Amino acid sequence: MKHARGMSALLVCAGLAVTVSGCREPYDWQPFNWQGPVCSVPAAEIFAGGPGQDGIPALTDPEFVRHTESGASYIDPEERVIGLHTDSGPIAIPLQIMWYHEIVNLVVDGQRIAVTHCPLTGSSLAFDREPLGGVEFGVSGLLFRSNLMMYDRSTEESLWPQMSRGARCGTRDGTELAMIPVYEMRWQSWRSLHPDTRVISEDTGHLRDYLAYPYGDYDELNNSQTLFPVQIDGRRPAKERVLGVPGSEGGIAYPFGELGRNVAVRVVEHDPEGSGSAESVVFWNTVSESAMLFDKTLDGAELTFDGSGGIIVDLETDSQWTVDGEAVSGPLSGRRLEPVGEAYVSFWFAWAAFEPDTRIWSGF
């Protein structure tokens, strides 16, 4: 069932009860007056999003079901999911869940992690909670440059802007988070690649209409408006998704519009230093609308990839690869490339706000 985009029903938009059409209306948001310890980010760019702390309820160890079970019937095949490969099998966290919860605290194969998505910046990242003693994250109700600010429930004073990938206010200020690689793609594509996948059940214990996108036309490519003040870099459409790869000199953004231009699949050598010797590679698939960065080395040997024939193959063995880095035919069938955990998907305006010196990839 297609979820309810464009409905005139009363929905939550950035914490306010407004009609969907109202999501385009500008608001006179006032900066949040942070009274806690000093922040290492500009306090003037921190805003109260509407709901207070835990007003958007993070999930902790929700139920997972097989995608064929009734608890998964709410997922629109065209909508996006955050996919993870785990030792116990693939799992998916639908954005239809994340629009309403933003953080999912999980224990996966004994490892405590947090999967996060900010609807306002379109950013999907996962973090290892183990180095922090397994602390759980919650939604603070505050935003930095339109981005989710998490808080950790052990101190309740430290704030962690998701796209900063670390604490930037409070007692843990300066503590960085280890990233865990995730794949963001359309549900029908993830399900096709992984018919054994498990997915979060709609029975979360919260009364939410997971069929309804609560932000109107906010995420549409032709809508450049943001709900909170943020500097817009006009080099790309504000709501275009990019695969962002952080780096010491601002990193690189791979715009989906460029990656998908006139091709079904694409392979891009990732050469952040311009040395002519790339150690990693971007895979793109237009049907799944998915991009990910992988280490090119397998068993100590560097592979060379090509997508010009409409499929991704390595030239050394002629094995065929999926967009999420698994060989599905040829001598390397069943093997998997190591994803680069630091790479993640977000809206262009948000990536540029956090990485203002970013370069933009263009193959043309």
Please check whether residues 247 and 164 belong to one and the same domain: no
SS3 220: coil
For the entire predicted model, the pTM comes to 0.92
Q: How many domains does the chain have?
A: 2
Structure tokens that stand for 351 in this block: 């990536």
Q: What pLDDT is recorded for position 17?
A: 32
Task: Say if residue 250 is in the same domain as residue 330.
Answer: yes
182 and 327 fall within a common domain:
no
pLDDT class of 11 with cuts at 50, 70, 90:
very low
| 167 and 294 both lie in a single domain | no
Same domain, 284 and 347: yes
The strand pair at 198-200 and 91-94 is best described as parallel
The string of pLDDT tens digits covering residues 271-307 is 877 666 788 999 999 999 999 999 999 999 999 999 9
Is residue 213, in this structure, part of any structural domain at all?
A: no
What is the percentage of the chain residues whose pLDDT exceeds 90? 81
> Residue 271's closest CA among 287, 291, 293, 303?
293
Half-sphere exposure of residue 313, counting CA atoms within 13 Å on the CB side? 12
pLDDT at 19: 28
Rounded CA gap, 310 and 313, in Å?
A: 9
Q: How many Å apart are CA 307 and CA 303, to the nearest integer? A: 13
Residue-wise pLDDT tens digits, 82-114: 999 999 999 999 999 999 999 999 999 999 999
- Domain residues for the domain of 53 are 40-200
Please indicate, yes or no, whether residues 187 and 323 belong to a single structural domain of this protein.
no
Least confident stretch, 3-12, 142-151, 277-286, 295-304: 3-12
- Provide the pLDDT for residue 155: 77
Least confident range of 33-37, 117-121, 242-246 = 33-37
pLDDT score, position 217: 96
- Do 145 and 258 lie in one domain? The reply is no
* 54 and 136 co-located in one domain: yes
- Tell me how far apart the alpha carbons of residues 99 and 204 are, in angstroms, rounded to a whole number: 13
Tell whether 23 is covered by a domain.
Answer: no
C-alpha–C-alpha distance, residues 180 and 184, integer Å = 13
* 255 shares a domain with 151: no
Asked whether residue 132 is assigned to any structural domain, the reply reads yes
Per-residue pLDDT tens over the stretch 38-86: 899 998 899 998 888 999 999 999 999 999 999 999 999 999 999 999 9
Residue 212 lies in a domain: no
Instruction: Name the range with the highest mean pLDDT among 170-174, 214-218, 245-249.
Output: 214-218
Query: What is the C-alpha to C-alpha distance for residues 132 and 296, in angstroms, rounded to an integer?
Result: 31
Q: Are residues 250 and 167 in the same domain?
A: no
Round to whole Å and give the CA distance between 66 and 228.
38
Report yes or no on 226 lying in a domain: no
- Contact criterion met (CB below 8 Å) for 79 and 72: no
- Whole-number Å distance between alpha carbons of 159 and 137: 10
Longest Cα separation, the chain: 60
pLDDT of residue 38: 83
Position 31 scores a pLDDT of 60
